[in-house]
Amino acid sequence: MTKAAYLLPVVAAALVDADGRVLLQQRPEGRSLAGLWEFPGGKVEPGETPEAALIRELEEELAITVPQACLAPAAFASAPLDDRHLLLLLYITRKWTGVPRALEASALRWVRPADMHDLPMPPADRPLIGLLDALL
Ligand code: DCM
């Protein structure tokens, strides 16, 4: 019997600064995909809306507050992950409160989409670079 596909919903943010650069964070040692540069975000927990999950993740990971009205869904991509399939939904935001701090990541970096091609990124994040470049 074929195992049912198991989708893992993940949300992430492209935080865009006044110069059109986007915040990436480096996944820490000891976690899956360690060392790779990702759009900040994480899993949508059962019962959570994607927007609520993203607001929670951005507070937990970066200590910033993003008003829900400032989250614009922009693009999605998917990638196999172990025996599951990760579905990554990317939101663009240009407005938040607080200065991003790396509470969970090993480093933060502001990067133009055109320069992201040179960075190692998780498989679901990589296809979003071109879309982001076209949108910003
Ligand atoms: N993930 C990803 N790209 C992101 C954020 C997360 O591929 N921008 C993946 C990494 C993990 C899973 O989603 O496999 C859950 O993330 P976390 O470990 O941060 O909760």
Compute the distance between CA of residue 76 and CA of residue 64 in angstroms, rounded to an integer.
23
Check pocket membership of 10 for ligand 1, CB cut-off 6 A: yes
Residue of minimum CA distance from atom 11 in ligand 1: 32
**Alpha helix (H) residue ranges in 9-91:** 50-62
pLDDT digits (tens, 9 = 90+) for 36-90: 999 999 999 999 999 999 999 999 999 999 999 999 999 999 999 888 999 999 9
CATH architecture under which domain 6-135 falls: Alpha-Beta Complex (3.90)
ipTM, 2 dp: 0.97
Which residues does residue 65 pair with via DSSP β-bridges, in sequence order? 97
Please give the backbone phi and psi of residue 70, each rounded to the nearest 5 degrees, phi first.
Answer: -95, 5
Ligand 1 atom at shortest distance from the alpha carbon of 61: 19
Ligand 1 centroid to Cα of residue 42, in Å, is 5
Q: What is the DSSP string of 114-134?
A: GGGGGS---TTTTTHHHHHHH
